[in-house]
Structure 1
Amino acid sequence: MAYRPTARTEATRLAHRERLLDAARQLLAEGGYAAASVSALARRADVSTGSVYNHFASKQELLAAVFRHVAGHELDAVRKAVRAREGVAEQLRALVEVFSYRALRAPRTAWALLAEPVDPLVEEERLTYRRGYHDLAETIIVAGIDSGELPPQDARLSAAAVIGAVGEALIGPLSPVGVRTDPAPVVEGITMLCLRAVGARSA
């Protein structure tokens, strides 16, 4: 007779998986992917190294799952902020500001999500993550064009430019964030640049 997991064993399995993901999120925030070795993960989650592979076939699969979870949480927060605003300018402002301040509060995680060299499996998740932000920005811009709040433009191109500008200004090699004690002027500058770039009439 084939083994069928009971509700209790399935709940236990899911709890263990969540512990591993939580431990990996902590390690990611502290030292990026380099810090998230299987042995370090097992120690942090207080499980055996072998048990890690009961949930994930490889370290790469584990890190891809962690990326998907963390990135999804960040994207959901930005989407929620956008939905809470009225008007294209305010929605675009919400996108840029919430993304920026969340990234600045957790710079190591932001680096891991946006720029840290990763294996191809995680890179696939990163592309999906970036597409999520691009699609959100494109939706805002299209709505603005349709309502007359924004001038006619290639919404897809404008969205790519906006998302690229935010990421580069925050964590790119020329970003001024690392030498500023107050991030507010940087975030406001990025926001105003993005608003002007798409032709928003007001902030």
Structure 2
Amino acid sequence: MAYRETEKMRQRKAEARKKIIECTWECVSEGGFRSARITRIAGLAGVATGTIYRHFESREDLFAEIFRLATQREVDKVAEALAVDGSAVERLDNALRQFARRALKGPMKAWALIAEPVDPKVEEERLVYRKAYANLFEQAIRSGITEGCIPDQDARLTSTCLVGAISESLVGPLSPTQTETPPGHDNNEDELVDTIVCFCLRGLTGTRS
């Protein structure tokens, strides 16, 4: 007779998988992907290392799944920020500030998602993540062109430039090796966010406002 998995077994496996994901993200949040060792994850999750590999074919597959889940949350936050009332420029201003402030609030998490050297499978997910942001910005830019508050331009290319500019500008402040006061520990965070957003919108609109 063929083995048939019971509902109780399926539920137990689902709970174990969820726990592994939660503990992996806990490790990443504390020290980046480099600190998320399988033995440590297994210990936190209360499972054997072999159990992890029954749910994920490799360490890369586990990390790619973690990256997908974490970045989708961030993309959703930017989408929410773009859904507020106002002109396209105002909505983009709000979304860019949301992106920067969330990154500075959780610098290690943001570093892991934006710039930490990662395995090829995770890097592939990072490219998907950047494209998702670009797609959201592109829609807003097209709306702004239609509204007349943004000059006519290649919205797809400009959206990619926005993602690159805000991501690259945060690499230094988020880096675990930076020697300056960590973000959020002085009064420079608002100034940093203002500077980044001003640069992005100036490049987008061609104005100083």
TM-score using structure 2 length: 0.89
Cα separation, 2, equivalents of 1:16 and 1:160: 38
Mapping of residues 101-116 of structure 1, within 5 Å: 101-116=101-116
Decide whether the 8 Å contact of 2:88 with 2:140 is kept in 1.
yes
Aligned partner of 1:63 in structure 2 is 63
* TM-aligned CA deviation for residue 60 of structure 1: 0.6
Aligned partner of 1:198 in structure 2 is 204
| Superposed structure 1 runs of 4+ greater than 6 Å apart | 173-177, 200-203
Cα separation, 2, equivalents of 1:161 and 1:22: 33
Decide whether the 8 Å contact of 2:97 with 2:197 is kept in 1.
yes
Which runs of no fewer than 5 residues in structure 2 stay unpaired? none
* TM-aligned CA deviation for residue 147 of structure 1: 1.9
Structure 1 range deviating more: 120-129 or 169-178: 169-178
Aligned partner of 1:72 in structure 2 is 72
Cα separation, 1, equivalents of 2:47 and 2:95: 39
* TM-aligned CA deviation for residue 8 of structure 1: 2.4
RMSD: 2.2
Residue 194 of structure 1 aligns with an amino acid whose one-letter code is C
Residue 186 of structure 1 aligns with an amino acid whose one-letter code is L
Mapping of residues 145-164 of structure 1, within 5 Å: 145-164=145-164
Decide whether the 8 Å contact of 1:149 with 1:200 is kept in 2.
no
Decide whether the 8 Å contact of 2:107 with 2:174 is kept in 1.
no
Cα separation, 2, equivalents of 1:174 and 1:110: 7
Which runs of no fewer than 5 residues in structure 1 stay unpaired? none
Aligned partner of 1:16 in structure 2 is 16
Cα separation, 2, equivalents of 1:174 and 1:16: 32
- Identity, in percent, stands at 38
* TM-aligned CA deviation for residue 132 of structure 1: 0.6
* TM-aligned CA deviation for residue 74 of structure 1: 1.1
Cα separation, 2, equivalents of 1:85 and 1:8: 47
TM-score using structure 1 length: 0.92
1:66-106 CA-to-partner distances (Å, cap 9, x unmatched) read 00111111111111121123320121012111111111111
Cα separation, 2, equivalents of 1:62 and 1:16: 13
Decide whether the 8 Å contact of 1:170 with 1:177 is kept in 2.
no
Aligned partner of 2:190 in structure 1 is 184
